[in-house]
Amino acid sequence: MFEPAQQNGSPRIGFYVCHCGHNIAGKVDVTAVAQAVARFPGVVLSRDYKYMCSDPGQQMIMDDIREQKLDRVVVASCSPLLHEHTFRTAVARGGLNAFHFQMVNIRENVSWVHDDPADATEKAVDLARAAVRRVRLHRALEQKKVPITPAVLIVGGGIAGIHAALTLASAGKKVYLVEKEPTIGGHMAKFDKTFPTLDCAACILTPKMSAVRSHPNITLWTYSEVTKVEGFVGRYRVTVKRKPRYVIEELCVGCLECIEACVFKEGKFYDEFNQGLGKRKPVYIPFPQATPQLVLIDPEQCIEFKSGKCKKTCAEKCDRDAIDFKQTERIEQIEVGAVIVATGFQTVPSEKVPFYGYGRMPNVFTALEVERLVNASGPTGGQVVTREGKAPKAVGIIHCVGSRDEKTNRWCSRVCCMYSLKLAHLIKEHTGAEVFNFYTDMRTAGKGYEEFFYKVMDDGVHFIRGRVAEVSDWAFTPDEEGKLVIRVEDTLIGRVRRVPVDMVVLATGLEPGPDSQQIRRLFNMSCSSEGFFLERHPKLAPVDTFTDGVYIAGACQSPKDIPDTVAQAGAAAAQVLALIDAGSKELEPNTAYIVEEECSGCKSCIALCPYTAISFDAARKKALLNEALCKGCGTCVASCPSGSIRQNLFQDDEIFSEIEGLLTPVT
Amino acid sequence: MSAHVAAREGAAPRAEWKPRVVAFFCNWCTYTAADLAGVSRLKHSPHFRIIRVMCSGRVDPQFVMDAFARGADAVLIGGCHPGDCHYMEGNYNCLRRFHLLQRMLGQMGIEKERFRLEWISASEGERVKTVVNSLVEDVVRLGPLALPGRLREWDREIDHLEAAVSERHEEATSHAR
């Protein structure tokens, strides 16, 4: 039933079992494994070695191939997802076809998850037997190379997307930067200062924003969303929806006179950029330094859209006729070789922590709101004031809101300690108020961070160690009248304290953005359990994903501060450059193919292929498989009643021999 | 139970019976989750063996039958959650086959607990542990399947029947003569 595997007489299999230091050898009796495998048919050599992936380990394989005339190699070590490529390369350098190799996972699948050494060793031997049986049938395969289109899509125009875009563009690559908001800049654009240096966020960000706008290699599409991604590494076909601004981009010069002329004399609507602390008109620009410097109209609010009876003073005022109430959304199609996803985060919604009274008590603020308050270009011109407009005399900053808590999110959001210190410093500087920080642990790991912590302590900011139980406006004593009372157990003195303040700041943590699940599906990525995008390897491939040609950067991967985000964005850009400059990428040869003589023309495979790689040749009554479109899932192979569809690397006989090997009794 | 063990000729006699579960895990979600279980050092039952395939849609029903016929006490298929398949819809195709196959196996006397399909995403290392442990627990409760022995018994029965039929046929034809 199956094609004979390519065999020249009896196979000569070399087997290697890795100690991985104590990682494997601490649980699996590697010597016993090597001895057991030495007796399997076809195995001519069976060794154990401390670190197979190291240079001497690889050299051993290469030497053995030459000296012992091995024609198949099996390595029992870690997960193939980690080192399959390493060993395939070694096998190829030794002179064999890279696919005359099979890997056995006895670390992640055995030594790390099983307690009993006897069980672990038995399992390792079973898995090795399956691999030895399988590898005998392995065919020599060639890897196809796909060319890489020298263009990149970057999704998300925060500091990560901006930095990656500029890096790639200055290396001469074509960049499409897509941002869903009307301006780039992301969260960083809302900040006044950045820790620990207290340099002005706008002064370091806005020049980069304008560089993006003016760079000839960057196409910037704001107020736009990626709606569809097809293709594969080297050639992704991406559809981008550009929402209508109702302002013609090519004509608008950002003079903002239309805003002035709007029939609304005052701002009336929730100003997203200022977290609702300010009001804006239906025709607006998110903030003065917005990039691109273009206004837009919110059709939900504009009278012309609601009633059609507006005087349209904005359009009258515009001497360039840039306002176009009839504008519709535009669909753009682009082709790129690689993608960087840098879609950022959202702060934990305050509704998740109702006991801190946000929304119920007006002077409970989120940290982002306070970022806007302290910002010179913010709604209060940099004055930190309560909702009544008064300067606070005492301010409490509650750390770990929605972080490190089983009720909300279990992870540490990494940036809140530092931004709380920054806000404490700025609030004190702006108002002279007493500032109390209620912290769980101070986490100030980073260059200059601990020093900054000491500086803020020297400023006279108070630190109380304890998780705040609740914020209430229920006064027990006269000095608590009209104040917000923070109730907390001070764990350093072992007492419950009540601290009356005029303003409470919630240091809300970071969590995956609201549309992260859609984005994940769009680019075929995985998420870690918190919902942040999953990197290919936490240490060795921190910006790669499991989808070739798709990279991640910034807080969409995990909470991180600006320095780490920029570093990661640079890393992602470097990976893309390596991909593009290599010119081509070798694909895993696990595609399917049809043995035509055996195809009965039943067509059952055709409907199963999600990539329409299979078509029907009506004249010859045979199914035809386009290997360029096949992604190698093998679903058609499993469904073919005549067994005429095969899959490279996962042939039926290879899998059957694996099953047989696993279930053959130990003798 | 001891009769079962004796009947289980597919395996060489061991001091004690240990369940044998064959698991087909898809490369992108469940295999990655098993790796994560390893990295997180989540200890679980050693009585299962993973075969990696690219997609749960690649699992040919014959693989499952073959595993049972060769002495597996249970078979587990692990794939991506609905809507999350790396290949868009391979897991749905697997699901369809799974239901058909489970019914067929039931008619052969294979309890439905012995054949499971689970959706385990790349982040659910913990779930690999709980699924494997619960499956092994089920198998321990049910005891060995010992299908190789049973198949041989059935073969013998059929041989007997066939022999009897052909004897009668011969008798009948000799009478007619």
pLDDT digits (tens, 9 = 90+) for A249-283: 999 999 999 999 999 999 999 999 999 999 999 99
CATH superfamily assigned to domain A145-243+329-344+513-584: FAD/NAD(P)-binding domain (3.50.50.60)
Give the number of other Cβ atoms within 10 Å of residue B119's Cβ. Answer: 23
- List the CATH code of the domain at A13-142: 3.40.50
Answer whether B162 touches A (CB < 8 Å).
no
Residue A467 CA, chain-centre distance (Å), reads 30
Please report the ipTM that was assigned to this predicted complex: 0.88
> Are residues B58 and A635, on separate chains, in Cβ contact within 8 Å?
yes
**Hey, of B24, B29, B60, B151, which one would you mutate to test binding to chain A, going by the most A CBs within 10 A of its CB?**
B60
* CA A224/CA A239 separation, integer angstroms: 10
- The DSSP code for A332 is E
Token pair 């929402």: residue? A243
> Are residues A130 and B93, on separate chains, in Cβ contact within 8 Å?
no
Answer whether B90 touches A (CB < 8 Å).
yes
Q: What is the pLDDT of residues A122-178, one digit of tens each?
A: 999 999 999 999 999 999 999 999 999 999 999 999 999 999 999 999 999 999 999
**A1 pLDDT tier (thresholds 50, 70, 90):** very low
Give the residue from chain B lying closest to A120, CA to CA: B46
**Hey, of B25, B44, B70, which one would you mutate to test binding to chain A, going by the most A CBs within 10 A of its CB?**
B70
* CA B133/CA B144 separation, integer angstroms: 16
Give the residue from chain A lying closest to B48, CA to CA: A123
Answer whether B29 touches A (CB < 8 Å).
yes
Alpha carbon of B54 to those of A79, A109, A605: distances in Å?
15, 17, 17
Q: What pLDDT, on the 0 to 100 scale, is given for residue A628? A: 84
Beta-ladder partners of A225: A241
Average pLDDT along chain A? 95
Answer whether A250 touches B (CB < 8 Å).
no
Q: What pLDDT, on the 0 to 100 scale, is given for residue B8? A: 43
**A640 pLDDT tier (thresholds 50, 70, 90):** very high
| A331 has a pLDDT exceeding 90 | yes
Give the residue among B62, B69, B91 at the shortest CA–CA distance from A2. B62
Q: What pLDDT, on the 0 to 100 scale, is given for residue B175? A: 73
The beta-carbon neighbor of A113 closest among B43, B49, B72 is B43
* CA A297/CA A432 separation, integer angstroms: 40
CATH superfamily assigned to domain B17-145: Lumazine/riboflavin synthase (3.40.50.960)
* CA B43/CA B132 separation, integer angstroms: 11
- Contact between A403 and A396 under an 8 Å Cβ cutoff? The reply is no
| B4 has a pLDDT exceeding 50 | no
* CA B45/CA B53 separation, integer angstroms: 21
DSSP secondary structure string, A185-244? -GGGGG-SEETTTTEEHHHHHHHHHHHHHH-TTEEEE-SEEEEEEEEETTEEEEEEEE--
Share of chain A above pLDDT 70, in %: 98
Q: What is the pLDDT of residues A226-242, one digit of tens each?
A: 999 999 999 999 999 99
Answer whether B34 touches A (CB < 8 Å).
yes
| A201 has a pLDDT exceeding 70 | yes
Chain A, window 539-578: residues with a beta carbon less than 8 angstroms from a chain B beta carbon: 546
Q: What pLDDT, on the 0 to 100 scale, is given for residue B177? A: 61
Highest mean pLDDT among A517-526, A553-562, A606-615, B11-20: A553-562
Q: What is the pLDDT of residues A267-276, one digit of tens each?
A: 999 999 999 9
Give the residue from chain A lying closest to B53, CA to CA: A650
- List the CATH code of the domain at A592-647: 3.30.70.20
CA dihedral B151→B157→B163→B164, nearest 10 degrees, is -160
| Higher pLDDT pick, A119 / A5 | A119
Give the residue from chain A lying closest to B46, CA to CA: A114
Work out the minimum CA distance from B4 to partner chain A, whole angstroms: 17
Q: Is A213 exposed, middle or buried (0-12, 13-18, 19+ CB in 10 A)?
A: middle
Query: Residue A638: which region, alpha, beta or left (left: phi > 0; alpha: psi -120 to 50)?
Result: alpha
Chain B, window 97-116: residues with a beta carbon less than 8 angstroms from a chain A beta carbon: 97
Beta-ladder partners of A490: A495
Answer whether B59 touches A (CB < 8 Å).
yes
Residues of A in contact with B69 (CB under 8 A): none
| B1 has a pLDDT exceeding 80 | no
* CA B65/CA A643 separation, integer angstroms: 16
Work out the minimum CA distance from B161 to partner chain A, whole angstroms: 30
**A6 pLDDT tier (thresholds 50, 70, 90):** very low
Answer whether A648 touches B (CB < 8 Å).
no
Answer whether A84 touches B (CB < 8 Å).
no
> Are residues A526 and B32, on separate chains, in Cβ contact within 8 Å?
yes
Which residues fall within 8 angstroms of residue A266, CB to CB, at 6 or more apart?
A279, A281
**Hey, of A79, A113, A539, A604, which one would you mutate to test binding to chain B, going by the most B CBs within 10 A of its CB?**
A113
Residues of B in contact with A658 (CB under 8 A): 51
Answer whether A627 touches B (CB < 8 Å).
no
- The DSSP code for A4 is P
Q: What is the pLDDT of residues A473-506, one digit of tens each?
A: 999 999 999 999 999 999 999 999 999 999 999 9
| A465 has a pLDDT exceeding 90 | yes
Give the residue from chain B lying closest to A630, CA to CA: B87
Answer whether B12 touches A (CB < 8 Å).
yes
Where do the structural domains in chain B lie, given as residue ranges? Answer: 17-145, 146-177
**Boundaries of CATH 3.40.50 in chain A?**
13-142
Residues of A in contact with B93 (CB under 8 A): 608, 635, 638-639
Angle at A12 between CA A7 and CA A17, to 5 degrees: 130
> Are residues A663 and B12, on separate chains, in Cβ contact within 8 Å?
no
**B15 pLDDT tier (thresholds 50, 70, 90):** low
Q: What is the pLDDT of residues A343-356, one digit of tens each?
A: 999 999 999 999 99
Q: What is the pLDDT of residues A380-418, one digit of tens each?
A: 999 999 999 999 999 999 999 999 999 999 999 999 999
Residues of A in contact with B55 (CB under 8 A): 633-635
Q: What is the pLDDT of residues A416-463, one digit of tens each?
A: 999 999 999 999 999 999 999 999 999 999 999 999 999 999 999 999
> Are residues B67 and A114, on separate chains, in Cβ contact within 8 Å?
no
What CATH class has A347-511?
alpha beta
* CA B138/CA A661 separation, integer angstroms: 24
Q: What pLDDT, on the 0 to 100 scale, is given for residue A565? A: 98
Q: What pLDDT, on the 0 to 100 scale, is given for residue B167? A: 87
Q: At what angle do helices A562-582 and A159-170 cross, to 10 degrees?
A: 40
Answer whether B92 touches A (CB < 8 Å).
no
**A466 pLDDT tier (thresholds 50, 70, 90):** very high
**Boundaries of CATH 3.30.70.20 in chain A?**
592-647
